[in-house]
Structure 1
Amino acid sequence: MPCEKIMLIRHAERPSADKKFRGVSIEGRKDNESLTVRGWQRAGALVRLFAPSEGHSAGAALARPQALYACKADARDPSLRPQMTLLPMAEWLGAPLNRDFYHGQEDALVECVRAGAGPALIAWKHDGMHLIANEILGADTIAPQHWPYERYDVVWVFERAGAGWTFSQIPQLLLAGDRAEPIR
């Protein structure tokens, strides 16, 4: 059965340009391609957002992912942040993390996700989010066409509706400072 729900998040917090907030590897070493401490906090909190404990619910809009996808790093774009954002989730669920698609291969990613079992969770880079949304929805008039650089706190949810898809936005509200309003 093809995927019925796709959830899309931006990778968690990145180092700041002013170097006030630095990236750290999972081992705690300084690494500009890694998440910040706050980013690692978000990555851990996302586990409970998408895979709540027994007796708790994330709500009907979100679902426990069966498939995890993160943007692949390469020499041109070495960021590990999308993968690191889903690493705690993959470990908790005992699920593989698909890292087969590079930034720029959003169409192939969506084709793969749609064909797989779902629900699926994708962590991607902010400047490719609208490309994934447009590919899923088949239009560029439904989802916002710009993901704000400073936003890490929203889930875009796509649900199959007959031959098409619906779109909604769910605020994460996981960390202090997360905002409740959707992306416009």
Structure 2
Amino acid sequence: MFIETETTPNPSSLKFLPQRAVMGQGTREFASPEAAEASPLAQAIFDTGEVTNVFFGSDFVTVTAAPGVSWSDLKPIVLSVLLDHFVSEAPLFAPGTAGGISVPAEDDIMVEESAEDADIIAQINELLETRVRPAVAGDGGDIQYRGYKEGVVYLQMQGACAGCPSSSATLKHGIEGLLKHYVPEVVEVREA
């Protein structure tokens, strides 16, 4: 088995491509060792002690190194963990855990949304799904919708995109421009 790696715009994150599906659908982020307990693979990566975030995409795993950790030291360790996992065909999630898709729950929506905004919200989500998420996944991350109110769209960056030096520019110049162009009611995009 061969696992490719790709750099991401976030110098702390590296994207690992195992040449097979990681998540059947959706994404999943683990921002702490406690959250990683749901996945033996994420837990093993956190067990290196040199990782601050693990993100599962459709066909990739993005790992964020702790501050001061060198990728030249960490990369072979993560590759070994990934190889062991995928060669053994171990399950991605521990039995009985809430594994699977990262979908915001109702209480994850940041703002009280109005029923009159349903069409606008549907347009926003369609654009995020078809135009934004594929591009962000190419950089080793994902973006989650967190709400819309009075022309402001609230989004959360995940994976390599969370904490990336260029994430603010991506939100303001890329995503905000796209949403404003196609959905005139949108006046601003803010990070949640």
Bucket of the pairwise TM-score, normalised by the shorter protein: under 0.3
Higher strand share: 2
| TM-score w.r.t. length of structure 1 | 0.27
Higher helix share: 2
Higher RCO by CA contacts (8 Å cutoff, separation 6 or greater):
1
| TM-score w.r.t. length of structure 2 | 0.26
